[in-house]
Structure 1
Amino acid sequence: MADLPDRSRDEHFIARIIREDLEQAAYSRPIATRFPPEPNGYLHIGSAFAILTNAGLAERFGGRFNLRFDDTNPLKEDMKYVRAIETDIRWLGLEPEVFFGSDYAERIYESAEYLIRKGKAYVCDLSPDEMNAYRGTLTEPGIDSPYRERSPELNLDLFRRMRAGEFAAGSRVLRAKIDMASPNPTLRDPALYRIIHAPHYRTGSAWCIYPMYDFAHPIQDAIEGITHSLCSIEFKDHRPLYEWVMRELDIPEAPKQREFGRLNITGVVTSKRYLRELVEGGYVSGWDDPRLPTLMGLRRRGVTPESIRRFIGDIGMIRTSSTVDIALLDHAVRQDLKPAARNLMAVLDPIKLIIDNYPESETEWLEIENNPENESMGRRRVPFGRELYIEREDFMEEPVKGFRRLSPGVEVRLKGAYFVTCTEAVKDPATGEIAELRCTYDPATKSGSGFDARKVKATLHWVSAKHAVEAEVRHYGALLRPEAKLAESGNDWASLVDPESRIVRDRARLELSAVSAEPGERFQFVRHGYYAVDPDTETAGKPVFNLIVSLKDGKKLSKPARE
């Protein structure tokens, strides 16, 4: 492999490890990585970091990338999670070969019998509480189980009877025979198999004993020919057990476990347990709630897979667990959508503006750019008439210092149209609130006519009242209050969830072209942000839009410590 180009100066530490293995011909097979989710939940942005890291390294070194479902716990797993995970990974742009750990059940079982015959595993009758008491502490060694010296013949008989279903759940486990005095608690005779009398979503009632993750995982890697088993940093203490299994099973060219940092994002909940509590407690609308960092939630919000790949690329490889500012993800989304999203004028909090000197029955069709950043997207025709809607916040009857938009006697430009001057603010006699604005326009100031005789301080977006499309617009922010602190022992989600994390504008008015918008389609609402059409559009009777990200964020972007 000496002909590989030397890019070692630009490579992160995992890439350097793989390159060194290639140069030393450590493997007689191509580089292979994998992503091994347990099908008991949904993927989130942290999962995407692991997926794209593994897949990217395989692609970089001309290898292959596997998706393997670690389905060795029948109590929590379900085919619905399998389907969701496959959908999410395909959405990210990947088409890995798919494997299931449950397909290797017989081979994993045979490996356990092999260890028993070698005297490296034994059946233990201690209860779970007793095992914990015997395990010791970080400063004190563990105590040998009274069943540790059973003969291989007896252990083999008991293990086979475990498989036959003779014993109750929790009454016995198969344990590795390593070292109860090890300074690494993971090596203190860890459990390899446990008894679970429950049907499996794929294998039914064929098994009543199931391997532990730390035992099944290295065997699954070896079966698939994985070369580099890359996982997050919390598994570093488990690496010696991974290597013990490979060594005791005499695996040639054994896979190498290596760890990288776990990705955390400011203000975002990525704990699977916490996410489940939020969903099952009804604090969010479901696993695809656009406020959640699940991939299905991000997809529904309108985030593109390309922006997630850009975000992960910007972060790079991190050696230790790091927290990244959510602004970095928002920036990646904007960079992806800026040249690709079609512009749309949308008035979210409308107030009517009437142009008194404009012909009452006339409608003009103005040509407006679809995207000033991308000329290839062309122009669209937008209707303009006597009655329009503008944003209520764009008018102030008694303007404060620095207010540069519409107020009595002030002239502004209507985007792509004319200059108008406010002549009167008509109030509702019952409420005293401003009900409509009366204006006049200057016909000589039509956009594109070459008029530039005078300057105005503001350009306002608008929509034709006669042609406006009524829409629902949903604004999303950080799910949790800024001061929220999460606790391991339990969380009062009702007090932690920010009630303003979801705000619905159900009186929005959009320009006519919005009526043909399809679910998933993305737009830039002029002066507001980037929005996507929500699937609820199909049943709501009007377009429903989700805010993907605002146009600007003044916060300084920060990146994690990386190598």
Structure 2
Amino acid sequence: MKLYNRKYNISFIHKIINHDIKKNKNLCLHTRFAPEPNGYLHIGHAKAIVLNFELAKQFHGRCNLRFDDTNPQTENIKYINAIKRDILWLGYKWYKKIQYSSNHFEKIYQYALQLIKKKLAYVDKLKKNDIQKYRGTLNSVGINSPYRHHTIKENIFLLQQMKDGKIPEGYACLRAKINMKSSYIILRDPILYRIKFDAHHQTKISWCIYPTYDFAHCISDALENITHSLCTLEFQDNRRLYKWILNNINIIHHTRQYEYSRVHIEYSTLSKRKLKLLIQNNIIQHWNDPRILTIAGLKKKGYTPSSIINFCNKIGVTKQNNLIEFSVLEHCIRNELNKTAHRTMAILEPIPIILYNIPNQYEEIINILNHPHYSHMGSKHIIFNNHLYIEKSDFKEHPENQYNRLILGKKIKLKYSYVIQAQYIEKDKHKNIIKIFCTCNLKNKNNKKKYGIIHWLSKKQSTISEFRLYNHIFTVKNPEHHKNLLSIINNKSKIKKYGFINKSIYKKNFQNITYQFERIGYFFKDKKLSNSNNIIFHRTVSMKNKIK
């Protein structure tokens, strides 16, 4: 196997693998991405996907997809299908067939029996609250359960009773017998098996006892010959239990676990529990809402697989938890779309412009490039005549000193076109401006004098469209620090506007396409939501770039 030497992407995990390969020339790197199928993937999972699949690729190894499906009460086949779609969309393919922890249920059960026979596990009949109380705290040691001293024979009998469904749910569980005085709470006789009378999406009703995540995870890794089990820092203490289990069962392969920092991004949460809370309270409708950082939400917003992968590479793999600026994520998609998105003009809040000194029959066709720097992306025609739309914000009747757009008596340039001058306005009975009357000199198109520039659309070439603008869903930078998540919801996190687009966009068969609406931002045309009467655009990211 080759060592990995690409300096720009070296992490402490790369160094560990390089070291392991030097020690064992025959080592075949085998990683895994092992999600629980109890929700949709988010940007944190994307980091794990990129890390595990890219390591396998870089070191000519393998990467499994395994579902750690040990809790039928929270898992669903729809999550499994969504996870598979997201991984494939990101551009990765798992090694051979998909694995499930449930594939190993019989072997895991036999390992539980092994621990009982070694006097390292027992069936406990304490209630859940009592188990929690007996476990102690960081400041106080745990207390032994009164059932800790059952004989081997009694424990095997009780575990069989659990397996046969003869003990009610919550009345018994299997616990490891380690050390109730350990300074690590995870080692204070953790639960290995519990009773759950729920049908499982893979095993159906074959089982009514299920191994805990901690018990099944390390055994599944070992049975699949995973060489490096990579997880986030909250599992750092769990590594002690991971090693204890593998050291005390008769299993040949011993996987090593390594931890790295989680993804924490400003103004967002990646907690499945908290995202479910947002759905339950109708803050968002679904897991693919563009305001949350699920892969489905980012995809709907217009993010691309490569932009997400670039973000994961940019933040790197470290052991240091930190809060990542949201602008880092935006930079990755903006940087890509700046090179790939077609330029066009759209008006989100239209106000009519009448060029009254130009005849009604006058019409000029202007040819412009789809991208100012890449002629191979082609060109398009726009129409210039005397009935136009501009953005409402591009005109002010009483402007501040630094305002450099259209005002009465001042000249301004229409992008790709002519200089105009506002002469008078028309208002409705509520004093709202409904029309701006301007003059235009058709001879000054190539005037080299510097003017402020605004974008526009010809009324003749315009068709109505819906624009959805997204802001942070929370009002504070680190919502994870707030107990009441619903008290910090940004009520302006989703804004709908109805304006105009160029009709040529309308004719592109409702494909999922990203455009740069000049001076406004990058917008993603939603094929699924759009119809013949209304095209819907999601704003992917604004024009502003905070990253230098």
TM-score (norm 2): 0.95
Aligned to 2:270: 270
1:505-553 Cα distance to aligned partner (Å, 9 max, x none): 12x1111222134353100000000000124543472111111110014
> What CA distance in whole angstroms lies between the structure 2 residues aligned with 1:179 and 1:19?
36
CA–CA distance in structure 2, aligned partners of residues 261 and 376 of structure 1? 42
Q: Which residue of 2 aligns with 1:195?
A: 195
Question: Counterpart of 2:462?
Answer: 468
The separation in 1 between residues aligned to 2:63 and 2:259, in whole angstroms, is 17
Q: What is aligned with 1:491? A: 484
1:413 CA drift (Å): 1.8
SS for the counterpart of 1:180 is coil
Match of 1:178 in 2: 178
Shift of 1:152: 2.0
Distance 1:456 1:118 in 2: 86
Alignment-derived partner of residue 539 in structure 2: 547
Letter in 2 for 1:35: F
In the aligned structure 1, how far is the partner of 2:318 from the partner of 2:190?
Answer: 30
Q: What amino acid is the match of 2:497?
A: R
Aligned-partner Cα distance in 2 for 1:22–1:375:
48
The worse-fitting range, judged by mean Cα deviation, of 404-413 and 317-326 is 404-413
Shift of 1:358: 2.4
Q: Which residue of 1 aligns with 2:242?
A: 242
In the superposition, relative to structure 1, how do residues 134 and 409 fare at CA in structure 2: closer, same or farther (>3 Å)?
closer
For the 8 Å contact 1:233–1:320, the answer to whether it is kept is: no
Report the 3-state secondary structure (helix = DSSP H, G, I; strand = E; otherwise coil) of the residue aligned with 2:434.
strand
Amino acid at match of 2:491: P
Matched to 1:353, the amino acid is I
Shift of 1:8: 7.6
What letter matches 2:393 in structure 1?
Answer: E
Deviates more, 1:30-39 or 1:359-368: 359-368
Task: Select 2:93's aligned residue among 91, 95, 106.
Answer: 95
Distance 1:253 1:484 in 2: 41
Partner Cα distance (1:526, 1:536) in 2: 24
- Provide the rounded CA distance (Å) in 1 between the counterparts of 2:318 and 2:234: 13
Partner of 1:127: 127
- 2:513 equivalent among 504, 509, 521: 521
Aligned to 2:420: 420
Inter-CA distance 158–372: structure 2 relative to 1 (3 Å threshold)? same
Which amino acid in the other structure matches residue 514 of structure 1?
I
**Stretches of structure 1 lacking an aligned partner (at least 5 in a row):** 558-563
One-letter code of the match for 2:431? G
Matching of residue 18 in structure 1 with residue 8 in structure 2: no
Could you tell me how far 1:424 is from its partner in structure 2? 2.2
Deviation of residue 10 (structure 1)? 6.6
Q: By how many angstroms is 1:492 displaced?
A: 5.5
What is the one-letter code of the residue matched to 1:332? C
> Contact 1:288 / 1:297 at 8 angstroms: preserved in 2?
yes
Once the two structures are superposed, residues 471-500 of structure 1 have per-residue CA deviations (whole angstroms, 9 ceiling, x without a partner) of: 111111010123785567x5261x321111
The answer to whether the Cα contact below 8 Å between 1:514 and 1:543 also exists between their aligned partners in 2 is no
User: Residue 538 of structure 1: SS of its match in structure 2?
Assistant: coil
Letter in 2 for 1:531: F
For the structure 1 residues 492 and 139, does the alpha-carbon distance in structure 2 shift closer, same or farther, using more than 3 Å as the test?
Answer: closer
| Contact persistence 2:4–2:14 (CA under 8 A) | no
Aligned-partner Cα distance in 1 for 2:278–2:398:
45
Indicate whether 1:35 and 2:36 are aligned.
no
Instruction: Tell me the percent identity.
Output: 38
In structure 2, the CA distance between the partners of 1:5 and 1:477, relative to structure 1 (3 Å rule), is closer
Is the 2:512–2:526 contact (alpha carbons within 8 Å) kept by the matching residues of 1?
A: yes
AA aligned opposite 1:20:
H
1:96 alignment partner AA? W
Secondary structure of the residue aligned to 2:109 is helix
1:76 aligns with 74
Q: Distance in 1 between matches of 2:519 and 2:209?
A: 60
8 Å CA contact retained: 2:33, 2:49: yes
Shift of 1:257: 0.6
The answer on 1:153 being equivalent to 2:153 is: yes
- Conserved in 2, the CA contact under 8 Å of 1:338 and 1:373? no
Contact 2:4 2:58 in 1 (8 A): no
Q: 2:43–2:293: 8 Å Cα contact kept in structure 1?
A: yes
Residues 456-477 of structure 1: per-residue CA shift (max 9 Å, x gap): 4212211111220101111110
For the residue of structure 1 that corresponds to 2:339, the secondary structure is coil
- Measure the CA separation in 1 of the matches of 2:485 and 2:16: 44
CA shift for structure 1 position 324: 0.4
| Separation in 1, partners of 2:490, 2:144 | 51
State the match for 1:140 in structure 2: 140
Return the match for 1:500 from 492, 499, 515.
492
Change (3 A) 1:540 1:286: farther
Query: For residue 349 of structure 2, what is the aligned residue in structure 1?
Result: 349
**Separation in 2, partners of 1:272, 1:17:** 31
Residue 374 of structure 1 deviates from its aligned partner by 2.4
Higher deviation after alignment, 137-146 or 178-187: 137-146
For 2:268 and 2:542, how far apart are their aligned partners in 1?
17
Per-residue deviation at 1:411? 2.0
TM-superposed CA distance for 1:503, in Å, is 1.1
Q: Unaligned regions of 5+ residues in structure 2, if any?
A: none
- Contact preservation (8 Å) 1:519, 1:537: no
Q: Could you give the per-residue CA deviations for residues 396-445 of structure 1, whole angstroms, max 9, x where no partner exists?
A: 234331222122222222111222222222233x2222221222222223
Other structure's SS at 2:380 match: strand
Please give the alpha-carbon distance, in whole angstroms, between the structure 2 residues aligned to 1:227 and 1:492.
39
Query: What is the CA–CA distance in structure 2 between the aligned matches of 1:316 and 1:6, rounded to whole Å?
Result: 16
CA shift, 1:63, in A, is 1.0
Q: 2:523 aligns with which of 522, 526, 531?
A: 531
User: How far apart are 1:17 and its partner, in Å?
Assistant: 0.9
Matched residue of 1:473: which SS? strand
Q: Aligned with 1:34: secondary structure?
A: strand
1:103: how far off? 1.5
Structure 1 residue 247: Cα displacement: 1.1
1:479 match: 473
Q: Deviations over 1:134-171 (max 9, x none)?
A: 22222333222222232222222221221111111111
1:229-378 equivalences under 5 Å are 229-378=229-378
Secondary structure of the residue aligned to 2:237 is helix
Deviant stretches of 4+, over 4 Å: 5-10, 483-488
With over 3 angstroms needed to count, the CA separation of the structure-2 counterparts of 1:492 and 1:212, relative to structure 1, is: closer
Q: Deviations over 1:10-58 (max 9, x none)?
A: 72211111111111118x5511111111111111111111221222222
| 2:86–2:295 CA contact under 8 A, matched in 1 | yes
- Count how many residue pairs are aligned between Structure 1 and Structure 2: 545
What is the Cα-based RMSD across aligned positions, in Å? 2.0
Contact 2:266 2:477 survives alignment (8 Å): no
SS at match of 2:465: strand
**SS of residue matched to 1:520:** coil
Show the counterpart of 1:108: 108
Cα distance in 2 for partners of 1:136, 1:211 equals: 23
Which residue of 503, 509, 512 corresponds with 2:500? 509
* C-alpha distance 519-481 of structure 1, shift in aligned 2 (>3 A): farther
Measured at CA, do residues 405 and 10 of structure 1 come closer, stay the same or move farther in structure 2, by a change above 3 Å? Answer: closer
TM-score, normalised with respect to structure 1: 0.92
CA distance in structure 1 between the aligned counterparts of 2:63 and 2:16, rounded to whole angstroms = 17
Residue of structure 2 in register with 1:560 after alignment: none
Mean alpha-carbon deviation: is it higher for 536-545 or for 336-345? Answer: 536-545
